[in-house]
Chain A
Amino acid sequence: MSTTTRTRAATDQEPEITEELIAAHGLSAQEYAEILRLLNRAPTFTELGIFSAMWNEHCSYKSSKKWLRTLPTEGPQVICGPGENAGVVDIGDGQAVVFKMESHNHPSYIEPYQGAATGVGGILRDVFTMGARPIAAMNSLSFGSPDHPRTSRLVHGVVEGIGGYGNCFGVPTVGGELRFHAAYNGNCLVNAFAAGLADADAIFYSAASGVGMPVVYLGAKTGRDGVGGATMASAEFDDTIEEKRPTVQVGDPFTEKRLMEACLELMATGAVISIQDMGAAGLTCSAVEMGDKGGLGIRLDLEHVPVREEGMSAYEMMLSESQERMLMVLRPEKEAEARAVFEKWDLDFAIVGETIAEDRFLIMQNGRVKADLPLRALSGSAPEYDRPWISPPPPAPLGPVDRVDPIEGLKALISSPNYASRQWVYQQYDSQVMADTVRPPGLGAGIVRVHGTRKALAFTSDVTPRYVAADPREGGKQAVAEAFRNLSAVGARPLATTDNLNFGNPEKPEIMGQFVKAIEGIGEACRALDMPIVSGNVSLYNETDGQAILPTPTIGAVGLIADLDQAIIGQASPGDVLLLLGGPGTHLGQSALLAEIRGREEGPPPPVDLAAERRHGEFIRAHHALIAACTDISDGGLALAAFEMAEAAGTGIAIDATDTAALFGEDQARYLIACNFDAAEALMVAAGKAGVPLETVGRFVGNDVILGGASAPLPELRHIYRTSLAASIT
C-alpha cells in the first residue's frame, strides 16, 4: 500500500487506524475494504470519520435505497421530488409549498428536550434552505406504555422541546400524532414535519456551480456537540445508552430564527448560487452534497471555520453536528452585500473554502492536509445493500368477539391516552403565530391560510402501526389512505406526501420484510390517490436489546384548498343529521376497541379499497357546500368519530346502531358528515347518482351521548376525554 509523505504528515497527531476504531465508526470490514480500494491507501483518522459520516445508514440510506426508488415521486404538481433538502409542490399562482418530515428518534430518547428541539430545528432548516419561509409544523410522536418508568419524562421533555424550539422560532404547530404502545418502551419516535411557502421561481438548490466560487459558512459557531451523532442514530441501543448523551446536539431557536431571516434576505439579493444546511454529519455532508450535485470538488480551510472552543481537530470539525449552521456558495461580486446581511443579524459569516474543478474533497487545516478524498466516490460509492427479507406471515383471523356495551367501549377509548383529547399537548405549542391559522390542531387536519390570499393549505400526519405490524402492505396503504381522508374531510385536494419510515434493525430479514411490504403498500396508495412522495426520511435500527418498535411509516401529507370558502371547518349544530358515508362498520380486526378494552391486537387490519377511497374523498370535496362538519372514521370507528364531533360542537348525539362492529369497526374509506335536514336530502340524492353509499346514522340532539340504547351525559364523557391524557403521564 502506498502511503504518501503528506498523508503521513497529516496522521502523525491522529490515532492509528485499528480494527476497533473502524468498528467504533460503524463501518463493516467490507466497507473498510471498499475504502482501501477507493483510496489505494489507508485513510487518515479524519478521512475515516468522513467515510463513517457519509456511509452510515442515516446519511446513505444504504439499506433502503433500493426500495425507495420504487415509490412514485412525480406528477404535474411536483416541482422537485426527493433528493433535495425538501420536496417542492406547485400550489398555483406562481407559489409553491416546500415540505419534509424527518425523524429525531435516537437523540430524543437519550435527551428528550434537546433531541426533540433539534429535530424541529433541523426540519425547519431543511425548508428555509430551499428559500421557503416555514408556515406550518407538525410532529408525530410514539412513546412506550404510559406506565413504563421512562415514558412520562420522555413525553414531558419531547413536548417541551418541540414547543421550546418551534414557539421561539415562530412557526405554528398545526397538527400531529401521539401514541403510546409498549413496543416503543425502548425507542420513542419523534418525527418532525415542516412546510414553507416560496415563489415557485425562487427555489434554492444544493448543487454548486462555477469553479473558484467562495464556499461560505453561516450561522452559529462550531463546537464539539453532536460529533458522531449520525453514526449513533444508525445503531441499536443497549445498556450503554447513557454514554451516548454527549452525541446529542443543543438547539438555539433564537439563532435559527435569525439564520432564517438572514438567509431569506440574502436569497432575495441574488447572491446565493447554492445552499445546504448542516444537519447530520454537519460540514462533511453539506460540502460533499454541494460538490457532488454540481459535479465539482470542494476545498475547505478549517482554520477559517468559526469555532466555539479552542483546539478542535479537523476530525471534530468535520463531524460536529452543532446546530443552526449553513453552507453556501456565493457569487463573489456579492460578497459585501452578503456580509452586510449577516452582520445585520449578528451572525457569523466566514469564507471557509472554494469550489475546485477536480473531483476532490480537500480538507486543510493551517496549511496541512487533513483529508484528500475523491468527492464523487464519497457519496456515489456509498454502499448499497439488497438486504435479505422474508414476507411477513399473513395475520391469523380474528377469534370470536363478545359484545361490548357501547358506552363502556367509548369510555375505554376516551380514557385511554391513545384516544383522549390531545389538548394537553397542543396547548404547549403556539398554533397561531403568523396569524394565518384557520384550523388549530386537534380536529383532524390543521389548516393555514396562504398569507395574503384566499388559498389555504391543509396538513395531516398519519399511520396506524398496529395495522402495519399485522400486515405491512395493507398498513402502508392505510397510512396514505387515512392522510387522504383527513385532507378530504376539510375540503382540501391532496397534493403530495412526505414519508418518515421508522423500523427496526434492517439486518433482520423479518424487519426488512416489513419495510419492503410497507413500501409496496405506500407506493400503491400514493399512485392510486395521486399523492406522490416528494421528500422523506428513513430511520432504522429502532431497537433496544433486540426488541423492535412497531413498524411506523409516518405519512405527512399536504392538501390545497383553492378558496377558503371551500373549506369544511364548521361544527355540527343541535338538530343536525349525522350521515355515514362509505357503508357500515364490520371489521374489528386490529381495532382500537379490542386493543384498549381486551388487550387484543389480533386479526387482519381493515382492507383498503383505494378506488373507493378516491371516490368517497372526491364526493366530500365536490359537496363541501352542503356539509357543516366532516371527519374521517379511523381508530375507534363510528362511535369515537361521532363522539369527537359532538364533543367539539358541545351537543349531544343519538346513534341507533347497537352492533359492536357497526359502532367500533374500523372499515376504511368512511366519513361522518353533519348537516341540516335539507342538505342531508340533497346529499342523499347526490350520493345515489354517484353510487356512493350514504346513510343517516344519527342526530345531534340533547345533552347525552346515546349509542344503541345506552347513554351517558356529554359533560361526564367530556371530562374523561379532556383529562385522561394528562392524568396518565404525570
Chain B
Amino acid sequence: MRAGVIEFPGSNCDRDLAVAFAAAGARVTRVWHKETGLPKGLDVIGIPGGFSFGDYLRCGAIAARSPVMRAVVDFAGAGGHVLGICNGFQVLTETGLLPGALMRNAGLKFLCRSERLRVATTDSAFTRLYAPGEEITVPIAHHDGNYTADPGTLARLQDEDRIAFTYADNPNGSLADIAGVLSANRRVLGMMPHPERCSDPRLGGEDGLRLFRAVAGILESA
C-alpha cells in the first residue's frame, strides 16, 4: 500500500502519522501543501494533526483552501480513502468532505489525555478489524474537538451508520459523543483522537495500529 501524508506549515503530527502507516506496512510519501497534484499511485491520504497555518482563522480553514486540498477532494471524489486526524479532521470538515464542524471544547481548555472510545461501526476500511461495539483507548489532544452538526445531519449520520467512534466519557461536549465520522461512501474518516499515538506497545498500546493495519490490508488486497 502507498500512503500519502499531507504536510501543511504548522502540521506537527505528520511524522507520527507516517510512522504509523509504515508500521502497518505502507510505503509513505510526504506531500507538501503547495503541490497542486498528488503523486501517482497513492492508495490512501493521511491528513495529520497539528496547527495548520497556526489555526489562526479557524481550525483547518486556511489549510482547506491550500492547493493540495483541491487534489485531495478530487482523490476522494474518485473513491480514494482519506484519513484525517485531529487537525486533519477539522480540515476535512472545512473542505466539506465530511459534514459538521468542530468547535471549542465545552470546558474551554486544551485537553491531552487517553479516552475510552466505542467503535460505533465496523463497516469501513478503517474500522473493520475492531469488534462491533468494542471499547478501545486512544489519546486525544485538542482545544477544538467539540463536534457539532445540525439535527438533519446527525439523523443522517445515525441512519447511515456513519458514526465511526463515540467517546465513553465525552471530554469536549461533542454532539452525541461523536469522536469520528465517515463520508457517505465510507471512505473518508475524520476523527479527533490520535490512533497514531497508540500504535506502538512502548507508547501505551496498540489500539490505534489496528486502524492502520485495517486500511493497509484492504488496500493491499484490492
Contact = CB atoms under 8 A, between A and B. Distances in A.
A435 B12 CA distance: 10
Interface in A401-432: 423, 426-432
B200 interface: yes
A254 interface: yes
A434 B202 contact: no
Contact of A254 (B53, B111, B143): B53
A550 B112 CA distance: 32
B156 interface: no
B54 A167 contact: no
B4 interface: no
Given A427-B111, A427-B113, A433 B141 contact: yes
Q: Main SS of chain B's interface residues? A: mixed
Nearest to B19: A435
A430 B54 contact: no
Contacts of A170: 12-13, 50-51
Contacts of A257: 9-10, 12, 51
B141 A432 contact: yes
Which of B10, B49, B55 has the largest number of chain A CB atoms within 10 A? Answer: B10
Contact of B54 (A160, A253, A426, A564): A253
Nearest to A258: B9
Interface string A560-572: 0000100000000
Interface residues of B, number: 30
Contacts of B194: 432
B112 A168 contact: no
A346 B72 CA distance: 23
A449 B197 CA distance: 13
Which of A170, A432, A449 has the largest number of chain B CB atoms within 10 A? Answer: A432
A345 B196 CA distance: 26
B113 to A, nearest CB: 5
A679 interface: no
B161 interface: no
B222 interface: no
A433 B53 contact: no
Contact of B203 (A163, A164, A437): A437
A252 interface: yes
A628 interface: no
A430 B142 CA distance: 8
Contact of B197 (A160, A167, A423, A432): A432
B141 A430 contact: yes
Interface residues of A, number: 32
Interface string A421-459: 001001111111111111000000000010000000000
B145 interface: no
A169 B202 contact: no
A435 B51 contact: no
A625 B9 CA distance: 44
B16 A435 contact: yes
B54 A254 contact: yes
Contacts of B111: 427-428
A254 B109 contact: no
Contacts of B51: 167-168, 170, 253-254, 257
A163 B194 CA distance: 18
Contacts of B109: 160, 427-428
A38 B112 CA distance: 55
B197 A435 contact: yes
Contacts of A261: 9
B190 interface: no
A427 B113 CA distance: 6
Interface in A332-376: 345-346
17 contacts: A167-B112, A168-B51, A169-B12, A253-B54, A254-B53, A255-B54, A257-B51, A261-B9, A346-B9, A426-B112, A427-B109, A427-B111, A428-B109, A430-B112, A433-B16, A433-B50, A564-B202
Given A167-B141, A433-B13, A435-B13, 10 more contacts: A168-B55, A170-B12, A254-B53, A258-B9, A258-B10, A345-B9, A433-B12, A435-B199, A436-B203, A437-B203
Across the A-B interface, give the 8 residue pairs with the lowest CB-CB distance, nearest first: A170-B12, A254-B54, A435-B16, A168-B51, A430-B141, A427-B113, A430-B112, A432-B197
Interface of B: 9-10, 12-13, 15-16, 19-20, 49-51, 53-56, 109-113, 139, 141, 143, 194, 196-197, 199-200, 202-203
Interface of A: 160, 163-164, 167-170, 252-255, 257-258, 261, 345-346, 423, 426-438, 449, 564
